[in-house]
Chain A
Amino acid sequence: MTQAQIQETANFPVRIDEPGARKWRDYFTFNTDHKVIGIQYLVTSFIFYCIGGVLADLVRTELRTPEVDFVSPEVYNSLFTLHATIMIFLWIVPAGAGFANYLIPLMIGAKDMAFPRLNAVAFWMIPVGGLLLVASLAVGDAPDAGWTSYPPLSLVTGQVGEGIWIMSVLLLGTSSILGAINFLVTLIKMRTPGMGVHQMPLFCWAMFATSALVLMSTPVLAAGLILLAFDLLAGTTFFNPTGGGDPVVYQHMFWFYSHPAVYIMILPFFGAISEIIPIHSRKPIFGYKAIAYSSLAISFLGLIVWAHHMFTSGIPGWLRMFFMITTMIIAVPTGIKIFSWLATMWGGKIQLNSAMLFAIGFVGTFVIGGISGVMLAAVPFDIHVHDTYFVVAHLHYVLFGGSVLGIFAAIYHWFPKMTGRMFNEFWGKVHFALTIVGLNMTFLPMHKLGMMGMNRRVAQYDPKFTLLNEICTYGAYILAVSTFPFIINAIWSWMYGEKAGNNPWRALTLEWMTTSPPAIENFDGFPVLATGPYDYGLERANEGVPLSDPNPLLSAGPNSVLRADPDEPYPTIESDLEQRVSGNKD
């Protein structure tokens, strides 16, 4: 082969699983690079967020007036069922997996995930499962028994749609189990030499707890869905009382996954917020170990509280007592995190950029969701507001006010690392303002609606609820509008944004110690730790992080790139370059 031929061959991917992305087209291939997979996860899940959001706005449009006047009740049932299923299984859970895929190997100084091909397989199950679900709308028999799919209701409504729902959720669940296996093995086995568990960034701790939870709970949902599929398709009666079955057993199996699922949906973003707040407050994190262990405590407690969703299912009183107490105890580790974040911000040099605004918004709205959660844990109150809009308000404050704001905070924070470019801050703040207003306008009135007795999952309601429902609906429209500045800003910044440099935030975790975006296999050799991940403003933080095998790109003045002086805000690109040049002279 001539030199020219070798060159030519080198410009084309030789194998379909060649790692790394060179062109945008590479994001549509079966790629094994964890960074490509991470971005595939994030972009795919964001597309499903938009689809789920459109469905939500259709639901709210129907609810703007008390009458059924926009869609038929059957279509309405499908709309809210698909909205919930898509938002949970195709937006929040995969978005968490996306960040984990992108960040875990970088944060622990590994070249890739433990099983790169398994990783790619896990990702490609998401679009397949998602398309399956969305396609059910096209066949005109979408699932319409709610995202919980409780039998016997789910057995008597549309069979095709329910079958599609089961297949799709099984596929998405398999994907998240495979992802969790990968994260666990990577975190346990592939940390850079010298990184003990107590040098791991908190996002890694959070993903460890999340993955353990996925591993324990998702298979039980799979078991429940297998039995449900037999009931639906083969005529067995596991959950059908007419044949001696017991629908409450399904509820146990479903909630054994789906309650932990709320922690699967929030823990990764607890982790992300624990990264974002110290960096943008220029202070060491308060209570590193407390935050790390509280993630584990939440994931353990999360496994033993599921029946608080079933207080009205006729389970015995002593059991309700047990689940009430364990549920309330979860507020303790969660509170530890909240107080640690507040203590971290206390007296810090807070940089109010988009990432930090979303992080602060996260803490604020999540606290509201958490408080209504403790209220719902109390059996008498839960029975009073069971299946009302109070529950809807609570879960949206936790999932939108928590997870979704956390996702956006994380996107703004790691965008420079992922793309090598800065976000436009002004439009980021516009996005934040619209989101916060829309979110509270949509979900705050729902508390009141629930207390007044408006049922969830109804298309028609008492006219006395009209005003509050109108406010909710217009809030939902604002939320829809709020995504446009984000989408346009993300695309524009990715293409033309200001160059970010390796470490625009002067952070100390390892993902910032490589190029932006990182090259294939991330680091040359193993990065060596010189500081803890959050030692901002401490003397030894100025030492930087030397590398065992220095790459000119990485070691161009680690002192200047990595310095985290508490009195110094973020560097400009110019000053960064200046410092690097002067650092090289030394």
Chain B
Amino acid sequence: MQSQTIDPAKTELNHHHSTATVGHHEEHPDHRLFGLFVFLVAEGMIFLGLFGAYLAFRSTLPVWPPAGTPELELLLPGVNTVNLIASSFVMHNADTAIKKNDARGARIWLAITAAMGAIFLVGQVYEYTHLEFGLTTNLFASAFYVLTGFHGLHVTIGVLAIVAVLWRSRVPGHYSNEKHFGIEAAEIYWHFVDVIWIILFGLLYLL
């Protein structure tokens, strides 16, 4: 129905022409960055919901973790935590490098971050296979697996995002000190995943 009143000068090939010269809405990095922050608020609220539920379960039961739950080993997750926190700093180096137009340096730092993220995931899987309780053992076990698993899913997405950025940066000049939204977005997401893990580690292992 809208076809009748569309200004022909603005449509079809002319439309492409004008968007190519004027700049399309996709090319507003400031909006995308702000959009990412708004998105992370929503992500944060999911985790907040899960943390809240965990605390609620914890407060309704007289003994926590329920009697008979094997003690959690702290060494491996501790090393993993240090690894994840360190990877956030490594990731920041990638961002700093690209802002200095050092594409090669950025690629190296990105690769190291992805590797550290992968190590974290391997460590988590290793921990899962060696724990003495399963998903349905008791409420604590269920919450443990669901919360760490949901976080692990986010780490996986983060690693994939970094790999995607790395793949794109193989084209010389794809990222530069003026145009590096991809790297910045991956970095912010990675920091977010890191912060969530620190809260999660405190809740599940230390509290």
Residues of A within 8 A of B (CB): 6, 9-11, 14, 20-24, 35-36, 111-112, 114-117, 177, 180-182, 184-185, 188-190, 215-224, 226-227, 230, 234-238, 243-246, 249, 252-253, 256, 419-420, 494, 515-517, 519-521, 551, 553
Task: Say yes or no: A238 contacts B15, CB within 8 Å.
Answer: no
Tell me whether B143 is interfacial, beta carbon within 8 Å. Answer: yes
Minimum C-beta distance from B111 to chain A (A): 29
Question: Which residue on chain A has the smallest CB distance to residue B138?
Answer: A244
Tell me whether B1 is interfacial, beta carbon within 8 Å. Answer: yes
Task: Say yes or no: A11 contacts B31, CB within 8 Å.
Answer: no
Contacts of A517 in B (CB 8 A): 1-2, 5
Task: Say yes or no: A222 contacts B49, CB within 8 Å.
Answer: yes
Contacts of A494 in B (CB 8 A): 1
Which residues between 56 and 88 of chain B lie within 8 Å of chain A, taking CB atoms? 56-57, 60-61, 66
Task: Say yes or no: A249 contacts B25, CB within 8 Å.
Answer: no
- State in angstroms the CA–CA spacing of A220 and B43 once bound together: 10
Q: Which of A244, A246, A420, A551 contacts B56 (CB 8 A)?
A: A246
Contacts A20-B11, A420-B5 given; does A190 touch B45 at CB 8 Å? no
Q: Which of B16, B31, B47, B139 contacts A244 (CB 8 A)?
A: B139
- State in angstroms the CA–CA spacing of A188 and B28 once bound together: 14
Task: Say yes or no: B61 contacts A219, CB within 8 Å.
Answer: no
Task: Say yes or no: A516 contacts B60, CB within 8 Å.
Answer: no
Tell me whether B167 is interfacial, beta carbon within 8 Å. Answer: no
Tell me whether B35 is interfacial, beta carbon within 8 Å. Answer: yes
Contacts A181-B35, A181-B39 given; does A215 touch B45 at CB 8 Å? yes
A-B contact pairs, 30 of them (CB 8 A): A11-B12, A20-B2, A20-B11, A22-B3, A22-B6, A35-B2, A36-B2, A112-B25, A116-B25, A117-B26, A188-B34, A215-B45, A219-B43, A226-B146, A226-B150, A227-B53, A230-B142, A234-B135, A236-B146, A238-B53, A238-B142, A249-B53, A249-B60, A420-B1, A420-B5, A517-B5, A519-B5, A519-B6, A551-B7, A553-B7
Minimum C-beta distance from A442 to chain B (A): 34
Task: Say yes or no: B13 contacts A223, CB within 8 Å.
Answer: no
Specify the main secondary structure of chain B where it touches its partner: helix
Contacts A219-B45, A223-B49, A517-B2 given; does A184 touch B38 at CB 8 Å? yes
Contacts A24-B1, A185-B35 given; does A218 touch B42 at CB 8 Å? yes
Q: Which of B16, B34, B49 contacts A224 (CB 8 A)?
A: B49
Task: Say yes or no: A246 contacts B60, CB within 8 Å.
Answer: yes
Contacts A181-B39, A184-B38, A220-B49 given; does A243 touch B139 at CB 8 Å? yes
Task: Say yes or no: A219 contacts B49, CB within 8 Å.
Answer: yes
- State in angstroms the CA–CA spacing of A181 and B61 once bound together: 38
Task: Say yes or no: A521 contacts B1, CB within 8 Å.
Answer: no
Minimum C-beta distance from B60 to chain A (A): 5
Task: Say yes or no: A10 contacts B12, CB within 8 Å.
Answer: yes
Contacts A35-B2, A235-B136 given; does A252 touch B56 at CB 8 Å? yes
Tell me whether B30 is interfacial, beta carbon within 8 Å. Answer: yes
Task: Say yes or no: A219 contacts B2, CB within 8 Å.
Answer: no
Leading 5 A-B pairs by shortest Cβ distance: A223-B49, A219-B45, A220-B49, A10-B12, A236-B142
Question: Which residue on chain A has the smallest CB distance to residue B3?
Answer: A22
Contacts of B174 in A (CB 8 A): none
Minimum C-beta distance from B33 to chain A (A): 10
Contacts of A235 in B (CB 8 A): 135-136
Tell me whether B170 is interfacial, beta carbon within 8 Å. Answer: no
Question: Which residue on chain B has the smallest CB distance to residue A10?
Answer: B12
Can you name 19 extra interface pairs (CB under 8 A) apart from A112-B25, A215-B42, A246-B56? A20-B6, A22-B11, A23-B3, A114-B31, A189-B30, A189-B31, A189-B34, A219-B46, A234-B136, A236-B135, A236-B146, A244-B138, A244-B139, A246-B57, A419-B1, A420-B4, A515-B5, A521-B10, A553-B7
Contacts of A515 in B (CB 8 A): 5, 7
Minimum C-beta distance from B117 to chain A (A): 23
Minimum C-beta distance from A117 to chain B (A): 8
- State in angstroms the CA–CA spacing of A180 and B25 once bound together: 18
- State in angstroms the CA–CA spacing of A421 and B47 once bound together: 48
Task: Say yes or no: B25 contacts A520, CB within 8 Å.
Answer: no
Tell me whether B50 is interfacial, beta carbon within 8 Å. Answer: yes
Task: Say yes or no: B50 contacts A223, CB within 8 Å.
Answer: yes
- State in angstroms the CA–CA spacing of A219 and B49 once bound together: 7
Task: Say yes or no: B42 contacts A219, CB within 8 Å.
Answer: yes
Contacts of B28 in A (CB 8 A): 114, 189
Task: Say yes or no: B46 contacts A220, CB within 8 Å.
Answer: yes
Task: Say yes or no: A222 contacts B35, CB within 8 Å.
Answer: no
Contacts of B2 in A (CB 8 A): 20-22, 35-36, 420, 517
Task: Say yes or no: A216 contacts B60, CB within 8 Å.
Answer: no
Minimum C-beta distance from B67 to chain A (A): 11
Question: Which residue on chain A has the smallest CB distance to residue B5?
Answer: A515
Task: Say yes or no: B139 contacts A21, CB within 8 Å.
Answer: no
Task: Say yes or no: B53 contacts A237, CB within 8 Å.
Answer: no
Task: Say yes or no: B13 contacts A9, CB within 8 Å.
Answer: yes
Contacts of A238 in B (CB 8 A): 53, 57, 139, 142-143
Contacts of A216 in B (CB 8 A): 41, 45
Task: Say yes or no: B35 contacts A220, CB within 8 Å.
Answer: no
- State in angstroms the CA–CA spacing of A509 and B199 once bound together: 47
Contacts A181-B42, A215-B38, A520-B6 given; does A237 touch B139 at CB 8 Å? yes
Question: Which residue on chain B has the smallest CB distance to residue A189?
Answer: B31
Task: Say yes or no: B53 contacts A223, CB within 8 Å.
Answer: yes
Q: Which of B35, B66, B135, B146 contacts A114 (CB 8 A)?
A: B35
Contacts of A112 in B (CB 8 A): 25
Contacts A222-B46, A238-B143 given; does A249 touch B38 at CB 8 Å? no
Q: Which among B3, B5, B57 has the greatest number of chain A C-beta atoms within 10 A? A: B5
Task: Say yes or no: B135 contacts A111, CB within 8 Å.
Answer: no
Contacts of B4 in A (CB 8 A): 420
Interface string of B125-145 (1 = CB under 8 A from A): 000000000011011001100
Task: Say yes or no: B142 contacts A185, CB within 8 Å.
Answer: no
- State in angstroms the CA–CA spacing of A245 and B53 once bound together: 11
Contacts of A221 in B (CB 8 A): 49
Q: Which of A111, A227, A252, A551 contacts B146 (CB 8 A)?
A: A227
- State in angstroms the CA–CA spacing of A494 and B1 once bound together: 8
- State in angstroms the CA–CA spacing of A223 and B150 once bound together: 10
Task: Say yes or no: A249 contacts B57, CB within 8 Å.
Answer: yes
Task: Say yes or no: A520 contacts B10, CB within 8 Å.
Answer: yes
Contacts of A519 in B (CB 8 A): 5-7, 10-11
Contacts of B11 in A (CB 8 A): 20, 22, 519-520
Q: Which of B15, B26, B50, B52 contacts A520 (CB 8 A)?
A: B15
Contacts of B13 in A (CB 8 A): 6, 9-10
